[in-house]
Chain A
Amino acid sequence: MLAQGITFDFAQLLIDNEIARMIKEVVAGITVNKDTLALDVIQAVGAAGEYVSHEHTYTNFKKEVSQNHLIFRGTRDAWQSAGSKDLTARAYEEAVEIFNNFKIEPLPQEVVSKMRSIVNEAEDYYSVQLSSE
């Protein structure tokens, strides 16, 4: 929300969504158990080895390392060759995409009509003009 909570903005909604995901990862903390300590893996890789190609990395990286979507984590060169779009621009692009394509399954017609009649009853109660939608 912008301007002291006065203004709603879709780009910020998407950015907040990404931040919320990261916060959940941080508060989840660090799990200490046999698998996460990975003593057998450390001993198998040994000194001057590498972990990138180890099965333990492959099976755990998705849950252990945050997967960003909007925030660009590449170098400046990579960012420039991807079009130099800042975070806000990318968030608006995706917001428009969702806005145009994300649909909610409509409620049954009789539920929609009943809600309409309840709204009209309240309008009648306050003697304001009846709305049609």
Chain B
Amino acid sequence: MKTGKRAGFRSLEGMSLNLFTEDELFEIHCATLNVLSDTGVRVLDDEAKDIYDGAGCLVNREDHMVKIPSHVVEDAIMSAPSTILLGGIDSKDDFYLKAGSSIAFTNFGEAIELIDPVTRERHGTTKKDVGDVARMCTAMDQIDFLERPVGADDVPGAVQTIHNAEAIFNNTTMHSFIGSGNGYNCGKMLEMAYTVAGGKDKFMEKPIYSATICPNSPLRLNPDITEVIIAAARGGAPCLFIDMGLAGATAPVTLAGALVVQNAELLASIVLAQLVRKGHPVIYGTSTLAMDLRSTTSPVGSPSLALISAATAKMAQYYLLPSWAAGG
């Protein structure tokens, strides 16, 4: 049997959600530019202030407000790459994280308790657990890279993040995302990552670890945030920005407004990373939640969370940046 050739046939691969029109995305973008240029973000660290200042931002040294003009924001969006190579410790786990519609999964992170699979008892997590859980996540065929899953709460708080990194690097073959807490610790974690990668040069070509960084809401980039952005960008570790707004508490209760505040915090962070090292890989991420004002809890799993996560992915697609959405 014969059939005709399909000429100019349009096909769609996969399925996706339609959440916003281009007009709506542009409206959120413009509202964010207004917030960044007129309200600004509060930056306490002097080195970060100097960097913003040098790029043409209006920096007030008394009230610590940094106002970022639109052209600086849009330049940063343009210079941040659309595809990021997340190197595995074992190269079979190398992963290209891309803007657009390709999806990947990681584990949820930052837990402080673990249920023992044999006794079913709950206990606070230790450094050994960090390694064990990293190893378990590595065994999962659908997990593409690792987020620091639990914390080493049995070591002194000041060095916990460094112990987390040691336990993770020794117990996974995948790329990992780990928080550092301050610039010094980020530097030490980078030294470890260079060792694992076989030298700084090799790490710069193919980083095996990324810095997880959570801006503070509303509109605050505290020194623990800006120090890590500067250290990670200089040291070559991609920056995963996970905004953690609370709609109804630290952001407007209306989700569109919460998205504007989140976008302003993420873009202010991305601007700093791009000013330190143009083209530095960044991920546009969210763990913004809606506060349940009746129970005063913030459920990690609700219709609002689904909408915020999908909306964040749409904003990232609009900016041609890779995105990340957290959720239990």
A residues at B contact (CB < 8 Å): 1-11, 13-14, 16-18, 20-21, 23-24, 26-29, 31-34, 40, 92, 95-96, 98-99, 102-107, 111-112, 114-116, 118-119, 121-123, 125-126, 128-129, 131
Q: Which of B185-193, B220-228, B261-269, B271-279 contacts A (4 or more CB under 8 A)?
A: B185-193
The complex places the Cα of A71 from the Cα of B170 at a distance, in Å, of: 32
Q: Which of B36-44, B46-54, B55-63, B117-125 contacts A (4 or more CB under 8 A)?
A: B117-125
The complex places the Cα of A10 from the Cα of B105 at a distance, in Å, of: 16
The 10 closest A-B pairs by CB, nearest first: A8-B111, A20-B142, A1-B108, A128-B156, A1-B328, A29-B15, A7-B113, A126-B158, A29-B14, A102-B139
Asked whether, in the complex, the Cβ of A8 is within 8 Å of the Cβ of B149, the reply is: yes
Which residues of B lie under 8 Å from residue A129 when comparing CB positions?
A: 156
Asked whether, in the complex, the Cβ of B170 is within 8 Å of the Cβ of A107, the reply is: yes
Asked whether, in the complex, the Cβ of A26 is within 8 Å of the Cβ of B188, the reply is: no
Q: Which residue of B lies closest to A40 (CB)?
A: B1
Which residues of B lie under 8 Å from residue A23 when comparing CB positions?
A: 103, 105
A85 smallest CB distance to B (angstroms): 15
Asked whether, in the complex, the Cβ of A17 is within 8 Å of the Cβ of B143, the reply is: yes
Taking chain B's interface residues, is the majority helix, strand, or loop, or is none over half, making it mixed? loop
B171 smallest CB distance to A (angstroms): 5
Q: Is B97 an interface residue (CB 8 A)?
A: no
Contact A8/B125 with A1-B328, A116-B166, A128-B158 known, Cβ cut-off 8 Å: yes
Taking chain A's interface residues, is the majority helix, strand, or loop, or is none over half, making it mixed? helix
Q: Which residue of A lies closest to B169 (CB)?
A: A115
Q: Is B28 an interface residue (CB 8 A)?
A: no
Which residues of A lie under 8 Å from residue B191 when comparing CB positions?
A: 118
The complex places the Cα of A28 from the Cα of B120 at a distance, in Å, of: 36
Q: Which of B75-83, B251-259, B293-301, B314-322 contacts A (4 or more CB under 8 A)?
A: B293-301
Q: Is B155 an interface residue (CB 8 A)?
A: yes
Contact A27/B135 with A118-B192, A119-B163, A126-B158 known, Cβ cut-off 8 Å: no
Q: Is B217 an interface residue (CB 8 A)?
A: no
